[in-house]
Amino acid sequence: NVDLTHLEELLKTNPPSLVSLMHANNEIGNVLDLEVAGTICREYGAIFHSDTVQTMGHFRHDLQKLPVDFIVGAGHKFHGPKGVGFLYVNAEKRINPLIHGGSQERNMRGGTENIYGIIGIAKAMEIAYAQMDEHRKHIESLKSHMIDKLSQFEGVSFNGESGNLEKSLYTVLNVNFPPSAEADMFLFNLDINKISASGGSACTSGTNIGSHVLTELHTDPNSPAVRFSFSKYNTMEEIDYVIEKLTGILKG
């Protein structure tokens, strides 16, 4: 988790500053309190940018009240088109263009605009906000069910805050499985059972750089770490299927 006391200490001795912090970590789901972090930044005259890609479309960001200067979103995180995103810039802040030459994007980024992508991401955002509470309740029930089932496995633990529904991103669960000589085959076994999940380990040997996040958490490099993600399209039956296949993989 971000040490907000340390952030304040840094801002006291480094005026003025640009602060860039993730709203929610994409691997372990730890969530930052944007209200508190932004208020600290305002107190010390710092510019505050937050990477809100993981939470956009899943959390409500009231920009009339939230003390942030820049936030971002990516369409594919809330079932919009891939390859399109956006940057919100507070009207009181001025930044220079990254790409010059055209008047697109209010003179901020020259180049032909992706009209289909823009319309698609706007519609996806509209749908996400209209049904957010309903979808969150559904997804949290899936994650809670999976946590309960996985907690019955010996040697299973959860990385970061992902196993805590109150403190984590509800769409992500990062799981540490017991150390095994077959750890390198864990994701492959999930894949052949038609289970899509992403891997990550603290291993730094050879070409396996591993996850810097899990390395900082001092997780066992011999323990397979898997990130499971949930969406409104997942079902309780799919969670039970995953648990069934994991039972076989771990026994095997």
Which sequence positions are flagged as catalytic?
A: 203
DSSP letter at 69 equals S
Strand partners, 71: 50, 88
Residue with tokens 């949290």: 140
Rounded to 10 degrees, the C-alpha dihedral 178/180/184/189 comes to -70
Question: Nearest Cα to 156, choosing from 63, 29, 233, 249?
Answer: 249
Residues in the chain: 252
User: Longest C-alpha distance within the chain, in Å?
Assistant: 61
